[in-house]
A and B are shown apart, each in its own frame.
Chain A
């Protein structure tokens, strides 16, 4: 089952010449300031002073042109909560964030647990998606953790991956069956690691700040105990798996150890876990409430190290739109989740690249080639003959995050009002100009 078959919608056959940008494709070993020509949606030439061929020309002087981003963890809220996000608005937001492909989570209403629901979504994506989008299907029916979905049929119908995101597969026995059976699909199992008996009533990271604020604690162990279980099962069944939105040092250490032992396990981390700590929750801003929660500075340092050394291969936004009325409530009453598609690059560039904590090259790799590799998607790359999946970035431009500027239908961003450095100016996704600033 080929990777590109899981993506639906978006794409086109645009022509374009980008002049004088710094081409930066770390995976291809490319770092050169030359022109790029796109013919009919395909990169046709790289070089100095390229013939324009009658195409539109974009000036890339002082800018970086990189492989566009891939987000394996997006909530499009469709079907069921189209007031919060639709395929059209979510993919438009992704395009504005520099993404050329995203994978949508199946915890919708109804849950994506049958081939019919999946086919319906893929058909809608063909009509309305701004960029190619893949749909992950549930591991268990209704994400209830009791009965496996028809994973074979779902994979045949184009499921991008399997996940019960939002909740763990609580039973170790069922998790083992899912791993074993998934061998027939060739798709990744993506796991939300949470031991519910340790996280019940949890509102934020359990530690000094939660003790002081009186908010229910969601301990690191609530994640790492489950991570440990999943990695043991992966080793035992010799099946690959992917750990979503890792937040705790202990989890990262376990993943590193398992990978060293030859277990085929991958991990992702969100921009908010890379930029913030539980100290931020003191403001009681509901846009700082997410699952898993923001943790300590030590955890944040561990996540950044793991991202840098490749233990964590992917950055995923866990873009989780919520309506204004749902988040305009006291912290304790607010739902978990924040948006991230339109701010991910700028937030990480501001918080990690500019201070010299992470190289731009590593950031670009973890936002594009890393997630594509994990999920078997075609890797966005800058090479003659490759489909044009490109993002034109200004690493120096600054902008202010404003509620009325989001393409997303929701504005529950932890960055509202903040000034960020780094701006997406143009996104080409599958040969189509999907966004221009």
Chain B
């Protein structure tokens, strides 16, 4: 039996691509111009936050629902405050104390919340694909505030914003991401976002925790001296399966990869998405030093999330004048 050709035709029968930018489910939903516009908008909002009256009327009458199926301090508070600063109504639902504890499925929770006609649903969920499921059953814009090990796009945007504010540029900036990349949605989102804006990235840490498919890797902590920004990841102890042996012990991890003052050089910026395990992945002296941008990142989180909500619910860029105008 002769076969004409065994050339595989790629792409046939592939599912249709997701439609455009109705949601922010991952950094993959963004192009470089989108990132630049969002950072510009965030900058405008940052100026507005320097005034005594911080509230803007922009999203008055809109409803932003936050659904958090996983514990979070930074992200949930910053989304809630971002919506409030834009005068939107907000509602925050946590898994504990809700019908989820009675066994309600994510789909039903999403349908229930959709019945209030929210404009935006912000969701954090421990399982990859949860935001996609919610997006498939609601008319609201969906923002992924973290799904499992997959994506956390607003974190990546706020990290870019912080780098830009600190260094004045993104293009050509060298970032070393240190630690447990394998289990980190923050790292996955950030690597994609850095690529998008022309920044360089190297992953540093124990071999089993560095997926070589994602970026250049180095097992030697000395490599971080070459970077402009050292981005320290949390050792995700809760994600370390028993007996998985990604590292022999936290003690050995700290000895080899903890970011300490003597492993850094002057002028480097240090970032961490929080919450920090002081003494495990980051030396307390580094965490408290002037080079650490950790608190700046939290501040950036507010204005970047304001920008994301604004961008999904309005059209066109915002300028300082417009903001000042409506706020005045």
Contact = CB atoms under 8 A, between A and B. Distances in A.
B177 interface: no
A61 interface: no
Contacts of B7: 357
Contact of B8 (A285, A297, A350, A414): A297
A6 B2 CA distance: 34
Contacts of B6: 301, 304-305, 308, 357
A280 B127 CA distance: 19
Nearest to A334: B129
Contact of A213 (B4, B12, B128): B128
Most buried by A among B4, B128, B214: B128
Interface in B113-130: 125, 127-130
Contacts of A305: 6
Interface string B255-293: 000000000000000000000000000000000000000
Contacts of B213: 207-208, 211-212
B158 to A, nearest CB: 19
B185 interface: yes
A214 interface: yes
Given A332-B127, A333-B127, A276 B13 contact: yes
B167 interface: no
A83 interface: no
B3 interface: yes
A235 B40 CA distance: 67
Contacts of A347: 13
B3 A284 contact: no
A189 to B, nearest CB: 28
Contact of B148 (A212, A214, A325, A350): A214
A173 interface: no
A26 B16 CA distance: 36
Most buried by A among B13, B14, B106, B107: B13
Given A212-B214, A215-B149, A361 B1 contact: yes
Interface residues of B, number: 39
Contacts of B10: 277, 297
Interface in B1-60: 1-10, 12-16, 18
Interface in A271-287: 275-277, 279-280, 283-286
B10 to A, nearest CB: 6
A285 to B, nearest CB: 6
B91 interface: no
The B interface is mostly helix, strand or loop, or mixed, namely loop
Interface in A287-304: 288, 297, 300-301, 304
Nearest to A207: B213
B69 to A, nearest CB: 10
Contacts of B241: 200-201
Given A211-B213, A211-B214, A359-B1, A279 B14 contact: yes
B234 interface: no
A383 interface: no
B13 A330 contact: no
B133 interface: yes
A331 interface: yes
A355 B4 CA distance: 10
Given A301-B6, A308-B3, A361-B1, A355 B12 contact: yes
B12 A351 contact: yes
A362 interface: yes
Contacts of B149: 214-215
A276 B15 CA distance: 10
A328 interface: yes
A214 B12 contact: no
B284 to A, nearest CB: 29
Contacts of B172: none
A425 B212 CA distance: 50
A262 interface: no
Contact size range, A: 35 or more
Contact of A304 (B8, B15, B107): B8
Contacts of A358: 3
Most buried by A among B6, B16, B127, B147: B6
A309 to B, nearest CB: 8
A329 interface: yes
Interface string A185-219: 00000000000000011010001100111110000
B211 interface: yes
B188 interface: yes
B215 to A, nearest CB: 10
A275 B13 contact: yes
A359 B2 CA distance: 8
Contacts of B2: 359
Contacts of A405: none
A429 B5 CA distance: 33
Contacts of A356: 4-5
B89 to A, nearest CB: 27
A331 B105 CA distance: 14
Interface string B135-159: 0000000000001111100000000
Interface string B287-312: 00000000000000000000000000
B132 A214 contact: no
A330 B133 contact: yes
B14 A284 contact: no
A329 B106 contact: yes
Given A212-B214, A357-B9, A331 B132 contact: yes
Contacts of A211: 211-214
A284 B1 contact: no
Contacts of A330: 106, 125, 127-130, 132-133, 147
Interface of B: 1-10, 12-16, 18, 105-107, 125, 127-130, 132-133, 147-151, 183, 185, 188, 211-214, 241
Interface of A: 26, 200-201, 203, 207-208, 211-215, 275-277, 279-280, 283-286, 288, 297, 300-301, 304-305, 308, 325, 328-334, 347, 350-351, 355-359, 361-362, 365, 414-415, 417-418
14 contacts: A203-B128, A208-B213, A213-B150, A214-B150, A215-B128, A279-B14, A280-B15, A301-B6, A305-B6, A328-B105, A329-B106, A357-B6, A358-B3, A361-B1
Given A213-B150, A330-B125, 15 more contacts: A212-B188, A214-B128, A214-B150, A214-B151, A214-B183, A284-B132, A301-B8, A304-B6, A308-B6, A332-B127, A350-B12, A350-B13, A351-B9, A356-B5, A359-B2
A-B CB proximity, top 7 nearest: A331-B129, A214-B149, A211-B211, A330-B129, A211-B213, A284-B129, A330-B127
